[in-house]
């Protein structure tokens, strides 16, 4: 599929790349260009000038990898879904000026080396997950998409290198609750710039609202403990990044993590972190 012709240009925040001419890619490019990733890209623009490498856990079709490559950093893109991976490679091939900066790894990340079933709700589903039953407006059961390789995330980070001049992006549809504790010592030691998309609603519901809320809150507090090593965390709300540090984190615990929050298209309110949250050792500029 890498021989697909080049399609339209993607222009975001003054940075350009081209996507492959394929209906699924066009639809994903329209979403990427819609403002859906506005907070993510604004954080990238702050972090990447301070970085030498970008690690993309859950690269999907490669748009965030291509965007990072326009900053001139070395990119490693991890994507286990065979259908998404083929389209990712086609998007890279459509950008011969950026492709040499991007290394593709055709596997996912987990707490250990293992082969798992990936479940999807459609073709090249951006929400493909290691969890078969996920909560949306109702309980949705994914169909088996493929058997995929997961690698021990800590071992992978040790191989590719992790330091303060790394931006690590994690968007892995609920598997972040296994990966973050697994890499906790590396995060504490190196404090890379970190951007995580949280999906508590992908953690398998059991059908009892109270038990589900407790299960998701327990997972949230475990990752909050892992990420407490950072000096600052950043929440994207109302079109701006809000930086939280020091004693402000106690207010975050009481008024954010422990508060049930509505999420669009999800039936029940969610506890803990939701959506995109960033972590760093420095404050973000006021206009981030």
Percent of the chain exceeding pLDDT 90 equals 88
What does the CA dihedral 244, 245, 249, 252 come to, rounded to 10 degrees? 0
Mean pLDDT of 135-147: 95
* Strand, helix or coil for residue 134: strand
Q: Which of 166, 218, 181, 176 is nearest to 196 (CA)?
A: 176
Distance CA 180, CA 110 (A): 9
Cα angle 246-250-251, degrees, rounded to a multiple of 5: 110
Q: Encode pLDDT of 113-128 as tens digits.
A: 999 999 999 888 999 9
> By the 8 A CB rule, do 4 and 22 touch?
yes
Mean residue pLDDT of the chain comes to 94
Cβ distance 167 to 47 under 8 Å?
Answer: yes
pLDDT in tens, 190-245: 999 999 999 999 999 888 999 999 999 999 999 999 999 999 999 998 888 999 99
| Residues whose CB is less than 8 angstroms from the CB of residue 183 and which lie 6 or more positions away in sequence, other chains included | 153, 154, 157
Write the CA distances from 41 to 126, 230, 280, 288, integer angstroms. Answer: 18, 21, 15, 10
Instruction: Name which of 108, 106, 104, 105 is nearest 95 in CA terms.
Output: 104
**2 — pLDDT class (breaks 50, 70, 90):** low
Closest CA to 86 of 25, 26, 175, 7: 25
pLDDT at 7 over 90: no
Q: What is the pTM of this model?
A: 0.96
Predicted pLDDT of residue 237? 84
Four-residue CA torsion sign, 47, 52, 57, 61: positive
User: Of 2-11, 55-64, 204-213, 255-264, which has the strongest mean pLDDT?
Assistant: 55-64
pLDDT per position as a tens digit, 55-86: 999 999 999 999 999 999 999 999 999 999 99
pLDDT digits (tens, 9 = 90+) for 33-46: 888 899 999 999 99
Could you name the CATH architecture of 6-280?
3-Layer(aba) Sandwich (3.40)
Q: Which residue has the higher pLDDT, 244 or 5?
A: 244
CA angle 41, 42, 47 (to 5 degrees): 95
Backbone angles phi, psi at 195, to 5 degrees: -130, 120
Q: What is the β-pairing status of strands 193-198 and 166-170? A: parallel
Q: What is the pLDDT of residues 159-169, one digit of tens each?
A: 999 999 999 99
Residue 1 binned pLDDT confidence (cut-offs 50, 70, 90): low
Sorted by where each begins, the domain ranges of the chain are 6-280
CA–CA dist 20, 265 (Å, integer): 29
SS3 230: coil
pLDDT of residue 154: 98
- Give the pLDDT of residue 123: 83
**SS3 letters across 28-47:** HHHHHCCCCCHHHHHHHHHH
Residues 27-37 have a mean pLDDT of: 90
Q: Does pLDDT of 3 surpass 70?
A: no
CA-closest candidate to residue 201, choices 271, 145, 142: 271
- What's the rounded Cα separation, in Å, for the pair 157 and 154? 5
- Which residue did the predictor score with more confidence, 10 or 286? 10
């Amino acid at each position: 599929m890498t021989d697909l012709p080049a399609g339209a240009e993607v222009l975001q925040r003054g940075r350009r790349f081209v996507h492959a001419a394929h209906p699924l890619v066009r639809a994903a490019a329209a979403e990427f260009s819609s403002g859906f990733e506005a907070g993510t890209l604004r954080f990238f623009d702050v972090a990447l000038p301070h970085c030498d490498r970008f690690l993309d856990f859950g690269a999907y079709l490669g748009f965030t990898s291509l965007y990072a490559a326009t900053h001139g950093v070395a990119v490693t893109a991890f994507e286990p879904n065979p259908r998404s991976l083929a389209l990712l490679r086609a998007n890279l091939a459509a950008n011969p000026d950026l492709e040499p900066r991007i290394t593709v790894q055709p596997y996912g990340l987990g707490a250990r080396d293992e082969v798992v079933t990936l479940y999807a709700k459609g073709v090249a589903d951006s929400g493909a997950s290691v969890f078969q039953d996920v909560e949306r407006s109702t309980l949705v059961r994914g169909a088996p998409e493929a058997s995929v390789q997961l690698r021990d995330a800590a071992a992978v980070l040790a191989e590719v290198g992790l330091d303060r001049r790394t931006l690590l992006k994690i968007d892995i549809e609920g598997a972040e609750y296994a990966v973050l504790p697994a890499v906790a010592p590396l995060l504490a030691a190196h404090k890379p710039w970190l951007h995580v998309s949280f999906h508590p609603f992908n953690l398998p519901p059991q059908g009892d609202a109270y038990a589900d809320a407790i299960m998701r809150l327990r997972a949230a507090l475990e990752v909050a403990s892992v990420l407490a090593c950072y000096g600052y965390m950043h929440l994207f709300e109302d079109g701006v990044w809000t930086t939280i540090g020091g004693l402000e984190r106690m207010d975050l615990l009481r008024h954010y993590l422990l508060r049930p929050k509505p999420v669009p298209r999800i039936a029940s309110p969610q506890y803990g972190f939701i959506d995109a949250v960033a972590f760093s050792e420095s404050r973000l500029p006021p206009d981030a």
